[in-house]
Amino acid sequence: MKTGEEVGGVDPGEGGREGVVQQGSGSGQSVGGRAPGGTYRRPAPWTGQHEPVSQPCLPLPPRALPTFPGNTRDTHPDGTASKENLVVTNPSPAARCARVERMDRLLLLRVAALLILGRGVRPYSDKTVEIVELVVPESPKVGDDVTLTCRFNLVGNNHRLYTVNWWRGKDQFYTYKGAANNNPKHAYTFRGINVKEEASTEESVVLQDVSEETSGLFKCEVMGEGPSFRTAVANKTMTVVIPPSQVQIFTRPSSNPPVYHIGERIHMNCTARNAKPRADLYWEINNSPVNERDVQPRAGYEDHRGRVTSTLSLSWDPPAYFKDSVARVACHAVVGEHRTTVTKDIYLDPASSAALNHLYASAGCKLSAAWTLLGLASLLLNRRVL
């Protein structure tokens, strides 16, 4: 043995490099593994890189050598490791290929997950439900059929309808399920609620023969399909009204037809009976509003059912509002969206008109030919009576 030169090793072509490097204590002797035949050779210095192999595998990166069975790290008695006492065993080509294949499979799985999230499955946040319009009549009258409408949009890719629910207060009286359901319509009966199911759809529901008990807060609830179940809600109040059972005009004096004279004040009353809520009354004469100073409101009364009878008075001095000795008086009674109108024609006495004509003529005024003709007709009538 030659001191400091005899070093053994295994030829790399016979399965890889393997050796132990130790520093002698002052002798400068390096000891390696013994090759077959008993001779020692100095191994090539280890550079931290691996020899290329015939298999199509990537080399492992420097300083990132994984731990395989057989790789050990000797330590000093104090528990620290050093390069000098590192025992390195290079993995076989098959092991390195298996390692690379595992990394490739993991990478493919990650890429596939990103593609699925990016293309196939949308996040829940891009699916919403919008109620575009809610139509609930504010004041239908008793006995009407009422249509409630809830128009909506389902926003988002492949966003489908789950249910449309209608409520009055806490009572759910109609449900429409998605188109995939064989029997999508379901109606429920409550006091004042009678659904006309055959005329109802996913956007509208028809209530038959509404009554006072139908009144309340109506809510439309639209829900998209799962798993997000996005929901939108809108509500409006409906009050079923009762128009007056009767609207009448009373004149004083109650002649038929009512005829008035110049200088005689005209008094009229309009009465609307049994309305709920109270009817709003107003006057028109010859299709024109009357002066507010000629109108006097009267006290009404309410019965045990909450129905109100109200009266509005009208008074003025002729010939105001008259046209050709005729005044068409109209009284309008309004409850909610419903108006009831009655009319009555009143007349100005031709004799008083002739007297008025004479009065004006004596003062140097000239009246129209109509007034003159009315005066002559009045004189002829008086002569026949006599």
pLDDT digits (tens, 9 = 90+) for 91-108: 677 777 777 778 878 888
**Reported confidence tier of residue 165, pLDDT bands at 50, 70, 90:** very high
Mean pLDDT calculated for residue range 3-10: 42
* Residue 12 vs residue 248, higher pLDDT: 248
Going from the N-terminus, what domains does the chain have, and what CATH number goes with each?
1-46 (no CATH), 53-121 (no CATH), 128-238 (2.60.40.10), 246-348 (2.60.40.10), 350-386 (no CATH)
Average pLDDT over residues 168-187: 90
By mean pLDDT, which of 124-138, 309-323, 333-347 is the weakest? Answer: 124-138
Q: Is the pLDDT of residue 273 over 90?
A: yes
In this predicted structure, the answer to whether residue 140 has a pLDDT above a threshold of 90 is yes
- Predicted confidence at residue 2, as pLDDT, reads 43
For 249, half-sphere exposure in the C-beta direction (CA atoms, 13 angstrom radius) is 28
Please write down the HEC assignment for all residues of the chain.
Answer: CCCCCCCCCCCHHHCCCCCCCCCCCCCCCCCCCCCCCCCCCCCCCCCCCCCCCCCCCCCCCCCCCCCCCCCEEEECCCCCEEEEEEECCCCCHHHHHHHHHHHHHHHHHHHHHHHHHHHHCCCHHHCEEEEEEEECCCCCECCCCEEEEEEEEEECCCCCEEEEEEEECCEEEEEEECCCCCCCEEECCECCECECHHHCCCCEEEECCCCHHHCEEEEEEEEECCCCCCEEEEEEEECCEECCCEEEEEEECCCCCCEECCCCCEEEEEEEEEEECCCEEEEEECCEECCHHHEEEEEEEECCCCCEEEEEEEEECCCCCCECCEEEEEEEEEECCEEEEEEEEEEECHHHHHHHHHHHHHCCCCCCHHHHHHHHHHHHHHHHHC
Task: Give the whole-angstrom CA distance, residue 117 versus residue 115.
Answer: 5
**Between 92 and 364, where is the model more confident?**
92
pLDDT of 204 above 60: yes
In this prediction, residues 123-146 reach a mean pLDDT of: 89
* Interval 5-24 mean pLDDT: 42
pLDDT of res. 57: 52
> Is the model more confident about 62 or about 143?
143
Percent residues over pLDDT 70 in the chain: 64
Joined together, the tokens standing for residue 378 give: 């009045």
Residue 358 reports pLDDT greater than 50: no
User: Contact 203/152 with Cβ under 8 angstroms?
Assistant: yes
What is the pTM (predicted TM-score) of this model?
0.57
Return the pLDDT at 96: 75
Binned at pLDDT 50, 70 and 90, residue 8 comes out as very low
Mean pLDDT of 31-52: 49
Please provide the average confidence, as pLDDT, over all residues in the chain: 76
- Average the pLDDT over 59-71 and give the result: 50
Q: What is the mean pLDDT of residues 243-252?
A: 94
